[in-house]
Amino acid sequence: EAGVAQSPRYKIIEKRQSVAFWCNPISGHATLYWYQQILGQGPKLLIQFQNNGVVDDSQLPKDRFSAERLKGVDSTLKIQPAKLEDSAVYLCASSQGGRALFGPGTRLTVL
Amino acid sequence: DAKTTQPPSMDCAEGRAANLPCNHSTISGNEYVYWYRQIHSQGPQYIIHGLKNNETNEMASLIITEDRKSSTLILPHATLRDTAVYYCIVRVLQGAQKLVFGQGTRLTINP
* pLDDT computed for residue B94 by the predictor: 66
As a whole number, mean pLDDT of residues B39-48 equals 91
**Mean pLDDT of all residues belonging to chain A:** 93
User: Would the CB atoms of A45 and B98 count as touching at under 8 Å?
Assistant: yes
Residue B91 near residue B2 (C-beta atoms within 8 A): no
pLDDT at B110 (0 to 100) = 96
Model confidence at A2: pLDDT above 70: yes
Task: Check B93 against A45: CB less than 8 A apart.
Answer: no
- pLDDT at residue B92 in the model: 76
Cβ neighbours around A28 below 10 Å, total: 9
- Residue of chain A whose Cα is closest to the Cα of B99: A45
Mean pLDDT, residues B33-62: 93
**Chain A positions in Cβ-Cβ contact with residue B42 (cut-off 8 Å):** 104-105
pLDDT bracket for residue B100 (50, 70, 90): confident
Which of A6, A7, A55, A61 has its CA nearest to residue A31?
Answer: A55
Helix (H, G, I), strand (E, B) or coil at A72: helix
Percent of residues, chain B, with pLDDT higher than 70 = 95
SS (H, E, C) chain B: CCCCECCCEEEEECCCCEEEEEECCCCCCCEEEEEEEECCCCCCEEEEEECCCCEECCCCEEEECCCCCEEEEEECCCCHHHCEEEEEEEEECCCCCCCCCCCCEEEEEEC
Is residue B1 over pLDDT 60?
A: no
Interchain pair B34, A42: CB under 8 A = no
Please give the mean pLDDT across all residues of chain B: 92
Check A91 against B45: CB less than 8 A apart.
no
* Residues in chain B closer than 8 A to A48 (CB atoms): 96, 98-99
pLDDT at residue A96 above 90? no
Among the partner residues A42, A43, A99, nearest to B46 by beta-carbon distance: A99
